[in-house]
Structure formats: C-alpha cells, structure tokens
Amino acid sequence: MKSLLRKISRLHVLVIGDVMLDHYIWGDAQRISPEAPVPVVDVDRETYTPGGAANVALNLASLGAKATIAGFFGNDDSGRRLAGLLKQKGVATIATPGTGATITKTRVLVRRQQLCRLDRESPQHDYHIEPARFEATFGKIIKQVDAVIFSDYAKGLLSDELVAKVSAMARANKVFVALDPKPKRQLNFREPDLITPNRSEALQLAGLEQAPHLPFPAAEVCARIYERYRPKHLVITLSEAGMLLSHQGKPGRTVPTMAREVFDVSGAGDTAIAALTLGLAAGASLDEAAHFANVASGVVVAKLGTATVTPAEVLAHLAEEK
C-alpha cells in the first residue's frame, strides 16, 4: 500500500461536476417551541466544508494527489467561501461560466443526529456550459492531468456534449476517464474507464426496477450496463455489503467492507471514486484499487459529516485490521 500511495502522490486529477458548499449547524435541543410543535435548537457552532464534486477533489488532495476542480462558483458569499476552503487544501479551481447561487446544503445537527437539511440552489440551466466554451475551458488542462472524474449530482453542469467532448480529449491524450453517474439525468456516455454507481443507481442504469429487500441481480445488472455504456471497469458500491467488481459485463468478486463503525455515509461515494480512480490511474489492478478504496471509505464513514481520508489514516486502518 505504501508503494501505491507513493505513485498516487505523483498524479494530477481533474474533477468536473456539481460543486457545493456543505454548511453544518451544530447544537442541542431541550425544549419544544411554543409557536409550533418543533424543537428549539440552541446553536453551539457552525462549520463549512466542500461538498458534491468539490468533496471528490478534496479527497484526491487528502490522499496525496494534485487536484483541480472545475465547477460553478456563484458570485456570492457561499461561492467565495467554497473557493477559499478548496484553496486552503491545495485544490486548484476552474470557475465555469453561469449565473445564479452557489449550491449550498445546510444541515442542522442535534447531538450528532441530523434534524433537517436546507438546500439553496438555482434552476439547472443556470449552471449549464455552452458547447462553444468546452475547448477553451478544458483543452489545455486535459493535456496536463493523468485522470478526469465526472462527478454528477444532477444539478445541470454535466451534459451529453460536455462529457462526450472532454472524454474525446482525454482519450486523445491517454487520460483515464471515470464517471460517478446520476441515472435520473440520463447522460449519454460511452466507454469510460470506470463508473461507480451505488446499488439503486446501478439498477436504474440497467433499466431494472426491484424491491429493496430482494437479492441484487448482479449478473443481469452488469451485463445490461456493459451493453449500454461499455465501461472498462464497473464498481457497484453496495453499502455494508462492500463493492461488486465487474469487467466486460461479467460480475467478479465482491470486496467486503472494511468499515468498523458507521456514523455517516454522506460523501462515502466521493471517497470511493476518488480512491478507485487514483488506484487505477497509478497502475493498480481493479482488485488492488478496490481494496484501497474500501479501506479509504471505511475510514470516512466512521466520521460525522462530509469527510476525507489521509494516507496515514489508510495505513493505520490497515495495521489495525491486520
């Protein structure tokens, strides 16, 4: 694992997607409001962290790679705060054109339990990039990176044209391409090196509907996704069941989870695609990259809130497991 981490430290990855600011309000509630049957929260503190595609970039940087994030940063306090937080962590930013508010998610937590979430965002068309801008925005940096990750949170930045054009640029420069899809967007992508849907997203990509309590139809899902999208590697994250690996439409082994305890799964998918991409771009096999990603995700879900993982935490987690 130390050898892999050394190789990762030499990589540069570009993330393109829906950036967000995660805002946490921490407090306690010991009484009910006389105005309505709701708890009164006494606020203790507030914290902010990059979320969405920005959290993918933050995980890349935390694991030792060089990261650049391209996304929409609004001309508002949230946009400036988000860009500042990323700069503090060494993540370079490319502000894509657009109008509207920076996507912000505010979570109110009482005694480590989420009470509610407040979302602020503009209509999807405000974040859309015109095709004529693709070359100017991404043409130069594609030649400087080792991998590209499309991080789709269904907010409108990614489009069929953008994914197709940037993927073609990447292939021309032998750059690894990964995609974390949101099937409800129905992006028309083909032949990425890696896609990382979760269980429900994989079913949607395969065009299947299934009750949650039924066994996961791995063979049919993998075959259908490969037929439609032709990914080189498919990794389906199955929460506590681990990660299902698939190559050329055939299900392989399931890597069991390495999470000892789970406080919060928010952002775990961001960690997974960041670690998988770094592992594969560094020359690891799919099994090796999945093992690395499983360890990294196991560390993150033991933390509360949107979180990242460091090489030291990965090595410590492995040592404890042994």
Q: Which two tokens stand for residue 319?
A: 């040592």
Q: Are 216 and 228 in contact (CB under 8 A)?
A: no
From the list 129, 105, 127, the residue with the least C-alpha distance to 117 is 105
User: Rounded to a whole number, what is the largest CA-CA distance in the chain?
Assistant: 64
Q: What is the number of structural domains in the chain? A: 1
Nearest to 88 by CA among 54, 119, 52, 127: 54
Q: Does the pTM exceed 0.85?
A: yes
CATH number of the domain bearing residue 174? 3.40.1190.20
Secondary structure E strands in 134-240: 147-151, 176-180, 194-195, 233-237
87, 83, 80, 24: which is closest to 61 by C-alpha?
87
Q: What is the pLDDT of residues 190-237, one digit of tens each?
A: 999 999 999 999 999 999 988 878 889 999 999 999 999 999 999 999
pLDDT tens-digit map of 44-93: 999 999 999 999 999 999 999 999 999 999 999 999 999 999 999 999 99
Q: Based on the residue annotation, tell me whether 287 is a catalytic residue of this protein.
A: no
Report whether pLDDT(267) > 70: no
Among candidate residues 18, 152, 193, 270, the one labeled active-site is 270
Q: Which two tokens stand for residue 157?
A: 């930045």
Q: Which residues of 152-165 are buried (b: 16+ CB within 10 A; e: fewer)?
A: bbebbbbbeebbbb
Domain extent at residue 273: 2-321
Amino acid, single-letter form, for residue 293: A
